[in-house]
Structure 1
Amino acid sequence: MPRTSSSPRRSRLFRTAAAFAVLVALAGYLALQYLSGHKGAPRCTVGPAGGGEGRTYELSPEQAANAATISAVGTTRGLPERAVTIALATALQESALRNIDHGDRDSLGLFQQRPSQGWGTPAEIMDPVYSAGKFYEHLAEVPGYSRLPLTVAAQKVQKSGFPQAYAKHEPDSALLAAALTGRSPASLTCSPAPTTAEGPGDAAEVRSDLVHAFGKDLLPSTGSAGASAAGAVSVPVPAEADDAAGRGWELAHWAVARSGTLRIDEVSYGGRVWTADTGWRTAREGDGRADTTSVRMRLAQ
């Protein structure tokens, strides 16, 4: 009897020990995969102007590209930085700034807009420029939205079941909006993901994306603006603009945020040069990249 009774106990102990060993091994494997998968992972960082001390926020190149589009659509409509902050906080809550093709019921896209509720067709909503435009269209109809608490303004548009959830994204969205609208120079940098596309960057694609996000008036003609030497795009910054420097930095940050998608290797404006390897640095004296009349983008070859 003693031999019979101890055998089941030993068997249970063995199974428990084996299960524990498997869990430990699995945990170790997942930890290793996490560390190896995140080591050197592409990322974007937004912080104080010129890389000074202060609050920073990190996001993926995909998120940065979508945020840059949201900002471009807002400023093109003549809306203030506060509108961009509200839009970014909303998209962070609704989709984590990812253009997802699923959601609650028929919700889609950056703002989780529903075709059945009149926001547009699924194809339209999945276009970040369209979906951002629809958000701003509704936001602009909210009286005094720029003076309202962010949660209230966003809820007037979204009619979410959890309106207070937008609040936690306000500090990061404000930091991101300051960079993307151009108020905070040289404050967004990215190390974009390696592209799977073959061949050099396409200047025509860059110009097309610029016009799609900022409107056709950005590049009045291919011959006079936006077309440069092969493998490069130059976007003029009108000197008569109310805030020419801000406009220049808005375009420069858009290019950095979209660099992984569009295969942009270098961005220069106002005496500063960005590359994925070095981030922003001061241009060397006399190298031709110190002017403030245009934002220059050198494409991958």
Structure 2
Amino acid sequence: MPWTASPTRRSRLMRTAAAFAVLVALAGYVAVQYVTGREGAPHCTVRSADGGEGRTYELSPEQAANAATISAVGTTRKMPERAVTIALATALQESALRNIDHGDRDSLGLFQQRPSQGWGTPAEILDPVHASGEFYAHLAEVPGYSRLPLTVAAQRVQKSGFPQAYAKHEPDATLLSAALTGRAPAALTCSPTTATAAGPGDAAEVRADLVRSFGKDVLPATGTAGAASAGTVSVPVPSAMEAGGGASRRGWELAHWAVARAGTLRIEAVSYAGRVWTADAGWRTERKESGTTTVRMKLAQ
């Protein structure tokens, strides 16, 4: 006689199957949302220098803002792009570019530096500018660091228990450093930001953050350059830094810094060298091409 499931057992099987189907559907939905931009969550994208169908890397506005600070501190110290790549790869491994207030033993911050090992006080280590400066200071003491494999150079500074872990971040760090040091024009975009939702921008805050990241020479001591005019902060690009009269690395470095920190500083638009960035449209060509001597940041009103 064939076996027949009881009504109770059939009902239980049907409920189990239905629950499994719901879980599968939910997993598929989550996967789709992740691939297509995490359901509209703010995000930043950096593209390869060739601007074609090359490599891309996506990160959050928080990560982009921290990466921009790390890069700015490096170039201000006259460190080469390779040093910035090493620093970014290290921070990607140690904290995923997040300024976290915890870690192994007393490790803190972007680079998981330890107060007990002389990296600074907890408050100093949790300051991205200080933490980045300390990393570069130690890296500069490594003989020939720019010619060493990234894992070796990073390990000489960090003394990690897992030195090979830095290697997997080198491609993404290379993309980021090319954009943030200005070598790859219009390569970084963030969309959408929370600039308008957070209230109006503060020009004094933008200028203070510029000076903290790039040093006091980023803005002129006197004059109108760098001052706010109708909600705009203008930052001069020294003519000595222009490349043959064209757009300079310094200009694009400042422009990408502004884009990366747009959400934090409530920057609505950034323009430089005939290109303008907005959160809703990314980078586009201006109808009337601007010069290459100023980066303009329009603040949210």
User: Do both share a fold (TM > 0.5)?
Assistant: yes
The corresponding residue for 2:277 is: 274
Cα separation, 1, equivalents of 2:298 and 2:180 = 20
Is it true that 1:260 corresponds to 2:226 in the alignment? no
The corresponding residue for 1:64 is: 64
Three-state SS of the structure 2 residue aligned to 1:266 is strand
Three-state SS of the structure 2 residue aligned to 1:51 is coil
Q: How far does the alpha carbon of each residue in 1:207-249 deviate from its partner, in whole angstroms, 9 at most, with x for none?
A: 1110010011111336433103131100000002375701000
Is it true that 1:107 corresponds to 2:110 in the alignment? no
Cα separation, 1, equivalents of 2:210 and 2:53 = 32
Percent identity over the alignment?
73
Three-state SS of the structure 1 residue aligned to 2:40 is coil
Letter in 1 for 2:170: E
The corresponding residue for 1:227 is: 227
Are the aligned partners of 1:272 and 1:282 in contact in 2 as well (CA < 8 Å)? yes
Three-state SS of the structure 1 residue aligned to 2:153 is helix
Three-state SS of the structure 1 residue aligned to 2:217 is helix
Letter in 1 for 2:277: W
Q: How far does the alpha carbon of each residue in 1:72-127 deviate from its partner, in whole angstroms, 9 at most, with x for none?
A: 00000000000000000000000111111111111111101111111111111111
Cα separation, 2, equivalents of 1:195 and 1:24 = 40
The corresponding residue for 2:173 is: 173
Letter in 1 for 2:177: A
Cα separation, 2, equivalents of 1:96 and 1:218 = 28
Mapping for residues 81-230 of structure 1, pairs under 5 Å = 81-195=81-195, 198-221=198-221, 223-230=223-230
Letter in 1 for 2:105: R
Are the aligned partners of 1:151 and 1:163 in contact in 2 as well (CA < 8 Å)? yes
Q: How far does the alpha carbon of each residue in 1:23-50 deviate from its partner, in whole angstroms, 9 at most, with x for none?
A: 5545544654665581222211111347
> Is the deviation greater in 186-195 or in 15-24?
15-24
Where does the alignment leave 5 or more consecutive residues of structure 1 unmatched? Answer: 1-5
Three-state SS of the structure 2 residue aligned to 1:58 is strand
The corresponding residue for 1:3 is: none
Are the aligned partners of 2:269 and 2:297 in contact in 1 as well (CA < 8 Å)? yes
Letter in 2 for 1:138: H
Cα separation, 1, equivalents of 2:14 and 2:102 = 42
Distance 1:11 1:122, change over 3 A: farther
Report deviation, 1:152. 0.2
Cα separation, 1, equivalents of 2:41 and 2:114 = 33
Letter in 2 for 1:234: S
> Is the deviation greater in 234-243 or in 122-131?
234-243
Cα separation, 2, equivalents of 1:35 and 1:260 = 25
Letter in 2 for 1:176: L
Three-state SS of the structure 1 residue aligned to 2:239 is coil
Cα separation, 2, equivalents of 1:177 and 1:131 = 18
Cα separation, 2, equivalents of 1:258 and 1:218 = 16
Are the aligned partners of 1:46 and 1:179 in contact in 2 as well (CA < 8 Å)? yes
The corresponding residue for 1:46 is: 46
Distance 1:21 1:140, change over 3 A: same
Letter in 2 for 1:179: A
Report deviation, 1:200. 1.0
Cα separation, 1, equivalents of 2:107 and 2:192 = 29
Q: How far does the alpha carbon of each residue in 1:240-283 deviate from its partner, in whole angstroms, 9 at most, with x for none?
A: 23757010000000001111111111101011111111111111
Are the aligned partners of 1:200 and 1:231 in contact in 2 as well (CA < 8 Å)? no
Normalized against structure 1, the TM-score is what? 0.89
Letter in 2 for 1:137: A
Three-state SS of the structure 1 residue aligned to 2:225 is coil
Three-state SS of the structure 2 residue aligned to 1:240 is helix
Distance 1:39 1:239, change over 3 A: same
Where does the alignment leave 5 or more consecutive residues of structure 2 unmatched? Answer: none
Runs of 4+ more than 6 Å apart: 9-17
Distance 1:222 1:33, change over 3 A: farther
Letter in 2 for 1:75: T
Letter in 1 for 2:179: A
Are the aligned partners of 1:237 and 1:295 in contact in 2 as well (CA < 8 Å)? yes
Are the aligned partners of 2:196 and 2:268 in contact in 1 as well (CA < 8 Å)? no
> Is the deviation greater in 89-98 or in 289-298?
289-298
Are the aligned partners of 1:272 and 1:283 in contact in 2 as well (CA < 8 Å)? yes
